[in-house]
């Protein structure tokens, strides 16, 4: 379908998440952060450094996602 002006690949406007969804994302990401830290420490204890590094990278991603959800709950832009 042709849009106005003949532009085919426009990005859709970004929707804002509801506060209820942001609260759920904050809780889920916080739980995943704690679990990935525990599993990463257990992998170090059992002598598997590759798996522990990947779990710590997952921890970094989940803490960033939790921070972004918290910022959205506070109504502050990223």
Position 10 in a domain:
no
> Which pLDDT belongs to residue 16?
77
In a domain, 31, yes or no: yes
Q: Is the pLDDT of residue 6 over 60?
A: no
Residue 16 lies in a domain: no
Mean pLDDT of the chain: 85
Per the domain annotation, does 56 fall within a domain?
yes
Let me know: does 43 contact 55? Beta carbons within 8 Å.
Answer: yes
For residues 69-73, give the mean pLDDT. 91
List, for residues 20-29, the tens digit of each pLDDT value: 998 999 999 9
Q: What total of structural domains would you count in the chain? A: 1
Q: For residue 59, is it within any domain?
A: yes
**What's the confidence (pLDDT) of residue 5?**
57
Strands (E), the chain: none
The answer to whether 58 and 36 have CB atoms below 8 angstroms apart is: yes
Question: Domain containing 77: what range?
Answer: 26-78
Residue 11 lies in a domain: no
């Amino acid at each position: 379908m042709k849009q106005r002006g003949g532009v085919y690949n426009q990005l859709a406007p970004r929707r804002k998440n509801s506060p209820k969804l942001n609260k759920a994302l904050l809780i889920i990401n916080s739980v995943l952060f704690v679990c990935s830290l525990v599993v990463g420490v257990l992998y170090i204890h059992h002598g598997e450094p590759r798996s522990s590094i990947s779990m710590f990278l997952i921890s970094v991603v989940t803490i960033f996602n939790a921070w972004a959800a918290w910022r959205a709950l506070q109504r502050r832009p990223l």
